Structure 1
Amino acid sequence: MTHIAPDSLRADCANCFGLCCVALPFAASADFAVDKDAGRPCANLQQDFRCGIHARLREEGFSGCTVFDCFGAGQRVSQGTFGGQDWRRAPGTARRMFTVFPVMRQLHELLWYITEALTLPPARPVHADLRRALGKVDGLAGGSPDALADLDVAAVRQEVNVLLSRTSELVRAEIPGRKKNHRGADLMGARLKGADLRGANLRGAYLIAADLKDADLRSADLIGADFRDADLTGADLTGSIFLTQAQLNAAKGDPTTKLPDGLTHPTHWHRPST
């Protein structure tokens, strides 16, 4: 039986070669102060692969960096797939390493969701299928650089999503009454203060800058929901499913926001507003 250590699905920047700072592109916007092409190191990346402005990312206009989460893909590519050989000392590995990293990131995100689904008692009817999926995805993640680069990761995501959708249905069915279906909905700036969203389907919903103060999101499916600048002050997200730390990092909130086990209040939630 495949077992995934929880820490292996959390970013360990000390064992990564700054891959998110090199492999991925970004554009000048509210999230990034400058443009950067894929494969070009960020100007803030130091020789030891650490960020030179890590403690001031938001102040320097790089809030997008504080939101990104590789789910542990960075260290797996750096220390596993490429055996600790970094792209600076072995420049011949650079292009392949930067190609593999986004693929690994998607695989590790799937591993995160599957691992969570396996902890949910209502999803027991699909646990056997989830365990098989866990083994399959982890096996793919352990493949060679060439195998990873050629992987049809969209097909893998589609296959796993069938199980995650079924998990969601089973968990949300535990909530009595009619549940709201906002899957993929445009709720940008929506006024949802105090809303009863228990067991709601919010998969892929656009909740950018939505007012969710004091909303009840218990047992809601939040996979892929866009919480950028959404206000979660006082909201109850305990028992919500498929919520990630990256989603919380993109939102606003305070210590009164109730979170599922394993997730933490972002540090910027505790800073006084200016």
Structure 2
Amino acid sequence: MTSANSLEPASPALDRASLRPDCGNCFALCCTAFGFSRSADFPVDKPAGSPCHNLAPDFSCTIHDTLRPRGFRGCTVFDCFGAGQNVSQGLFFGKSWIESPDTKSEMFAAFAAARQLHEMLWYLAEAQTRTFDPDASHRAAQLRNTIEQAVGGELSDVLSLDVQDLHSQVRLTLIEVSEEVRAAYLAAGDDHLESALKPGADLMGKNLRSRRLCGADLRGAYLIAADLRDSDLSGVDLLGADFRDARLDGADLLKALYVTQPQLNAAHGNHVTRLPADLKMPSHWQDA
């Protein structure tokens, strides 16, 4: 843990490397705690708190290699940001909900909260590295420290945390850093396009191919099935943007803001798509 005077990241989230799923050390919490409804992402209904019917006794997935062809695309998009192994091995000391059925409800509640907290850590780590403002960096560090103290502490620390209030504080810091970073870029394009590039914009199916979108604020934008092939998204705020079925072939996201693995997993791209260094090309891009 960190000392009271230190704002260096505390265990278990020393950096983004620890914010990646380690399914081998998790009790399949994403396959049990959360529910889903039959849709384009799932072929069946599953109530929250019940194990998926594809779950093996050792907590592995019996159809892991064929999830997409079988209609479980939603499973391939989901990412817990490392919360699964932290809850399983840290907060519950490696004892599963099968071994101790009485811990099931608390474990699932802790996972739901920790998943949000770990995602916040992912964004805050980037905010610290992208800002040149010492005050903004300090605020991001303070928030990281608060979250890491909780997820690296006791179960009660996580369950008692006001996640929504913390989320609001993190959001303000991320927006502040975003404004600073985007100011260094010049968004180009016609007036009509520029007016459409705004937070929460409906850009579903929009043809944005080969565009220079640098510095745009697309936080929370709907980019479902949008064509972004060969476009430059440097300095674009993509916090919470919906990339389902978006085309990213040849796009440059190397310096885009707040990109996550789930966003990439939901999209389509190829081997020449430029990605941030700590994200990886989804396997279905290779298949395509």
TM bucket (normalised to shorter chain) is over 0.9
**Counterpart pick for 2:230 among 214, 226, 235:** 214
Q: How does 1:1-274 map to 2 (within 5 A)?
A: 1-3=7-9, 4-176=14-186, 180=194, 181-272=197-288
Amino acid across the alignment from 1:84 = G
Structure-1 separation of matches of 2:256 and 2:134: 17
Amino acid across the alignment from 1:2 = E
Following superposition, the deviation at residue 235 of structure 1 comes to 1.0
Following superposition, the deviation at residue 69 of structure 1 comes to 0.5
Q: Check whether the contact 1:193–1:212 (CA below 8 A) recurs between aligned residues.
A: yes
Structure-2 separation of matches of 1:245 and 1:90: 32
Q: Structure 1: state its 5+ residue gaps.
A: none
**Greater shift after overlay, 220-229 or 173-182?**
173-182
Measured at CA, do residues 215 and 96 of structure 1 come closer, stay the same or move farther in structure 2, by a change above 3 Å? same
Structure-2 separation of matches of 1:115 and 1:151: 20
Please give the per-residue CA displacement for 1:223-265, whole angstroms capped at 9, x wherever unaligned: 1000000011111112001101110010011112111111121
Structure-2 separation of matches of 1:251 and 1:176: 26
TM-score, normalised to structure 2, is 0.90
Calculate percent identity across the aligned residue pairs. 50
Please give the per-residue CA displacement for 1:100-132, whole angstroms capped at 9, x wherever unaligned: 111000000001111111111535441111111
Amino acid across the alignment from 1:61 = G
Please give the per-residue CA displacement for 1:185-229, whole angstroms capped at 9, x wherever unaligned: 111111111122101101010111111111111111111000000
Q: Check whether the contact 1:126–1:167 (CA below 8 A) recurs between aligned residues.
A: yes
Please give the per-residue CA displacement for 1:135-176, whole angstroms capped at 9, x wherever unaligned: 011122234334423432111100111111111011111113
Structure-1 separation of matches of 2:276 and 2:154: 35
* Secondary structure of residue in 1 paired with 2:280: coil
* Secondary structure of residue in 2 paired with 1:71: coil
Structure-2 separation of matches of 1:2 and 1:59: 44
Following superposition, the deviation at residue 85 of structure 1 comes to 1.1
TM-score, normalised to structure 1, is 0.95
**RMSD, aligned α-carbons:** 1.5
Measured at CA, do residues 178 and 269 of structure 1 come closer, stay the same or move farther in structure 2, by a change above 3 Å? closer
Following superposition, the deviation at residue 134 of structure 1 comes to 0.9
* Secondary structure of residue in 2 paired with 1:119: helix
Structure-1 separation of matches of 2:265 and 2:114: 22
**Greater shift after overlay, 145-154 or 263-272?**
145-154
**Greater shift after overlay, 133-142 or 225-234?**
133-142
Following superposition, the deviation at residue 267 of structure 1 comes to 1.1
Structure-2 separation of matches of 1:177 and 1:74: 39
Number of positions where the alignment pairs a residue of Structure 1 with one of Structure 2: 272
* Secondary structure of residue in 1 paired with 2:132: helix
Measured at CA, do residues 258 and 65 of structure 1 come closer, stay the same or move farther in structure 2, by a change above 3 Å? same
Structure-1 separation of matches of 2:15 and 2:231: 33
Q: Check whether the contact 1:103–1:149 (CA below 8 A) recurs between aligned residues.
A: yes
